Structure 1
Amino acid sequence: MSVTIKQIIDTLPSSPVELESTVDQLLYGNENDEVSEIAVTFMANQEVLEQAVQLGIRFIISHEGLYYSHHQAYPLPEDSDILYEREQFIKKHGLAIYRYHDHCHRHQPDLITRGLVNKLDWQKHISLETAVATIVQVPPTPLQAIITAVKDKLQLPYIRFRGEQSKPCRNIGVLVGYRGNGASLIPLIAKHQLDAVIIGEGMEWEAPEYIRDAAALGSPCGIIVLGHAESELPGIDLIGEMLQQALPQLQVHHLKAQPIYTIG
């Protein structure tokens, strides 16, 4: 059985309060079109768009934007041939794309963060959930064991980290996406005396340098850097599962691109 794109959009979990401005919108397509299969994805890059076309999927829910900026910009040929060619590909194949970013982050709890916490099997250890971070209290565990568990559960080829690997960690902060910046992370570490933090990404000269100096001054804290997409993919999984439960007549796919970096 098919449902309309508008019905699917209306089913997506939303913020408990109205947002004054948001990037969440139908970027391409007609909300009255009916579909029987959809895809959720971290970012509808070219690899993901081509996967959708090969699978015959015409509606994609993308967490991040299409044109390498948080705010949507419709490309012109003179801006970049690549941007323009991507838009032509979308139009040629009749793809409908909905940007779903702000409402899932503003939802209580933040669905993207909760997805990562659930994937790490820490949902029973949550001690605090804020708008930008979740703090868990786990049994004291060496930093190295946490690193190994995170790599295994997220199936990551590598993780960047800093900290004494034998240090027992109990209070751990989890911040997805680009929330690993100093303004978000430094006060959190200080206020809650965190033993370790897990982040997506952030300025390397902000929180990581703070953590390095904190260790030199006798207040060690471990940091584990997953990557932006790697930290948010479990949240996309969660959103896909929620949609599948709410609309069982749909077939929901989670399309993923290969990691953006390789290591040498």
Structure 2
Amino acid sequence: MISITTINDVIKQLTKPAGELETSVDSLLFGEPNTEVKGIVISFIATQYVIERAKELGANLIITHENPFYSHQGAISHIQNDPVYQAKRRLIEQEGMAIFRFHDHIHKYRPDGIMAGLIAQLGWDAFIEENAAAFSIVHIPSATVPELASLIKKKLEIPFVRVAGDISATCSRIGLLAGYRGGGQTAIPLFEGKGVDLIIAGEGPEWETPEYVRDSAYQGNHKAMIFLGHAPSEEPGMQLLAEQVRTTFANTPVHYIKSGNLFQIM
């Protein structure tokens, strides 16, 4: 257990496992590092809802995985006059809310902190064969694609997944790629190079890996892919982080707020 007094104390503890990175999008977007921490909210992304809930909970530090202003690199020149951006920024500043973007360092944890959360929530910790920088391989008891889709929806509490390839396939070796790692250059080599039957990814270009598995299935190969969506694949990692922070800083209120399902099927 560690006693903390400032935002900088929290940032130092969070970034320590990965060490100093040459380049990173991680930074304190709002607030001052020497501000006393009254409470912490952790979320996949600091949405308007998350910021308002943090205020209600009396927290003055939000740890967000993704940038709150809709740009991975943090560009705002294209939205500076946009009323949605202005209203959200005004809320943050009026409430004196500190926001720390925590993206690259947690992905550099070993194992990747985001991937660790996804595997844990799926209940597959005992089946890990390999944890690489961009993917993990698990070898689970055989199950069909529909059975795995049902399990995923239940475990991650999401209303739907998207499936490509041979949906009748029976799978046991699975490649997991959290976040935006489902593109062809990363995912496709796992089928032959690692012998996986199924790729489960957050997202990626839809005409790369999904089109590969479509052709593969048409050729008679029992291969498939499941897209979870970016947030559903990374929310578990931030929830796991909240548990770790709650243990490390036991004297500070720590809350995890799920961003909620982004898309609806109509």
Structure-1-length-normalised TM-score: 0.94
RMSD (Å) for aligned C-alpha atoms: 1.7
Q: How does 1:115-130 map to 2 (within 5 A)?
A: 115-130=117-132
Partner of 2:40: 38
3-state SS in 1 of match to 2:139: strand
Q: Structure 2 CA distance, aligned partners of 1:16 and 1:44?
A: 23
3-state SS in 2 of match to 1:40: strand
In the alignment, is the contact (CA less than 8 A) between 1:76 and 1:84 conserved in 2? no
Q: Residues 176-224 of structure 1, C-alpha deviation per residue, up to 9 Å, x if partnerless?
A: 1110111111112221121111110111111000010011112221211
Partner of 2:210: 208
In the alignment, is the contact (CA less than 8 A) between 1:64 and 1:100 conserved in 2? yes
One-letter identity of the residue aligned with 1:18: E
Q: Structure 2 CA distance, aligned partners of 1:251 and 1:55?
A: 9
Partner of 1:51: 53
Partner of 1:220: 222
Partner of 1:72: 74
Q: Structure 1 CA distance, aligned partners of 2:170 and 2:13?
A: 42
3-state SS in 1 of match to 2:32: coil
Structure 2 unaligned blocks of 5 or more: none
Q: How does 1:6-45 map to 2 (within 5 A)?
A: 6-14=8-16, 16-45=18-47
Instruction: Identify the range of structure 1 (26-35 vs 162-171) with the bigger mean alpha-carbon deviation.
Output: 162-171
Task: Say whether residues 1:244 and 2:262 are aligned partners.
Answer: no
Deviation (angstroms), 1:245:
1.1
| Count of matched residue pairs | 264
Q: Structure 2 CA distance, aligned partners of 1:180 and 1:2?
A: 38
Q: Structure 2 CA distance, aligned partners of 1:235 and 1:64?
A: 12
In the alignment, is the contact (CA less than 8 A) between 2:166 and 2:217 conserved in 1? no
Structure 1 unaligned blocks of 5 or more: none
In the alignment, is the contact (CA less than 8 A) between 1:62 and 1:100 conserved in 2? yes
In the alignment, is the contact (CA less than 8 A) between 1:196 and 1:222 conserved in 2? yes
Structure 1 ranges of 4+ moved more than 6 A: none
| % identity of equivalent residues | 39
Q: Given the alignment, which residue of 193, 199, 208 partners 2:195?
A: 193
3-state SS in 2 of match to 1:30: coil
Deviation (angstroms), 1:7:
1.1
Q: Structure 2 CA distance, aligned partners of 1:82 and 1:17?
A: 35
| Cα distance change of structure 1 residues 214 and 86 upon mapping to structure 2, 3 Å threshold | same
In the alignment, is the contact (CA less than 8 A) between 1:178 and 1:200 conserved in 2? yes
